[in-house]
Structure 1
Amino acid sequence: MRALKNWFWPGIITVALLTVLAGWFLAGPIDARITEAANTALSAQNDWASAEVDGRDLILKGVAPSEEALADAIKITNEIPGVRIVDNQTTLLSLAEPFSFVITKSDDGILLSGNVPYGDTRAKILSAAELAMPGIEILDEMAVARGAPPAFFELVQFALGQAAQLINGEVEISGKTYTIRGTPASSADYAAINDALKKPLPGDAALNEIKLVPPVGQGG
């Protein structure tokens, strides 16, 4: 009986230790597989988000561009096989009220400032600015935020076209209002700017102010 006890308890202890060690060695690969699966799933539509896994608890991180994007990322990670809970440690991109965008044209070039939506809109605006005003230096001081009005990029394109007709001045979009101030390059540009502003603006924007200095020889 003593011999049986001498064999039994050390055996139990050995099995327990092996079980603990097996779990310890396997935990890393399981964490890695869940992490890889989560980040792969997120990258398809939510490249702003990233996932880390601790045991079977998934930690979601990143700056969400919208409440809808955040809800989608949480849903995706909750559906990853092996995840026990999702610890949401994300933050929401700041909301700009009003959402403003300004084009300032001077002898030094073009300054683009104010707000821009998350995503590829910044690149599209810079490309449109280069197309509208080739050869002019462009300074980018745009800040990413939520709250862009409908048809924001289309309204910016329109504003860039009008800024190109100024020698110097400023075009401002604030929420859904549109303001232009400055000196047109010619009488034809002066007329073209005013004629364009008599038509509906992109995104149903409202005209706030037109303050143009007529070129020399052009009546106000």
Structure 2
Amino acid sequence: MHIYKSWFWPGLITVALLTVLTGWFLTDPIDQQLTEAANAALEPANSWASAEIDGRDLTLKGVAPSEEALAAALKIAADTRGVRAVDDQTTLLPLADPFSFAITKSDDGILLSGNVPYGDSRARILAAAENAMPGIEILDEMAVARGAPQGFFDLVGFALRQAAQLTNGEVEISGETYNISGTAANSADYDALGAALRMPIPGNGKAGEIKLAVPVNTSGG
């Protein structure tokens, strides 16, 4: 019996230590594999989201562009094979109500401010602004938000084209309401601005406050 005790307890301790160490060394590779699998499943449709896994428990982080996108990402996370539970630590983009956008034109250039949808919206609007008013300095103060109305980009494109015909002024979109004020570059532009506003405004736009002036030193027209 004495000999049995002499090797039994040290052996049991050794086995226990090896079990703990084996679990320790195997946990990180397994977590890493699950993390990579979850993130691969999220790409590219849900690139805003990132997954981290610890002990088969997944933590989802990121700023979701919409409630639908958040629900889709949570489902992907929960359906990832090997994941035991999902901890949702995501947030939603702020909701802008009304969703507003403004173009302010002055001698210093143009200022783009207000709200833009998630994704490539900012790049699209900046490219459209450069195309409508080439060579003019553009200051970007746009903020990403939810709540853009249908036809938003069509309405913004129309606003940029009209802003190009002003020497100074502001074009504002608030929801679907279209407001414009400022001084036209010349009589021809003044007439063109007024004619465009008498037609249906793109993007389901509805005319709001219209205050246009023509330069007093303009000749002809």
TM-score greater than 0.5 by the shorter chain: yes
Task: Supply the distance in 2 between the matched residues of 1:128 and 1:203 (Cα, whole angstroms).
Answer: 16
1:113 and 2:113 matched: yes
Residue 37 of structure 1: aligned partner: 37
Identical pairs, percent: 72
Instruction: Give how far 1:186 is off.
Output: 1.4
* Amino acid of the structure 1 residue aligned with 2:39: N
- State the one-letter code of the partner of 2:37: A
Q: Matches of 2:131 and 2:204 in 1, distance apart?
A: 24
In the TM superposition, residue 36 of structure 1 has moved relative to its aligned partner by 1.1
In structure 2, how many angstroms separate the alpha carbons of the residues matched to 1:10 and 1:127?
A: 73
The alignment covers a number of residue pairs equal to 219
Partner-residue secondary structure (3-state), 2:214: coil
Q: Is 1:12 the equivalent of 2:12? A: yes
2: CA distance, partners of 1:203 / 1:54: 47
Q: Please tell me the root mean square deviation across aligned C-alpha atoms, in Å.
A: 1.6
The offset of 1:47, in angstroms, is: 1.1
Partner of 1:169: 169
Shift of 1:162: 0.3
- TM (norm. structure 1) is 0.95
Q: CA deviation at 1:144?
A: 0.9
TM-score, normalised with respect to structure 2: 0.94
**Distance (whole Å) between structure 2 residues aligned to residue 89 and residue 182 of structure 1:** 46
**1: distance between equivalents of 2:25 and 2:167?**
69
Letter in 2 for 1:144: V
Structure 1: runs of 5+ lacking an equivalent: none
* 8 Å Cα contact 2:153/2:203 also seen in 1: no
Residue 152 (1) aligns with residue 152 (2)? yes
| Structure 2: stretches of 5+ with no match in the other structure | none
Deviation at 1:40, TM superposition (A): 1.7
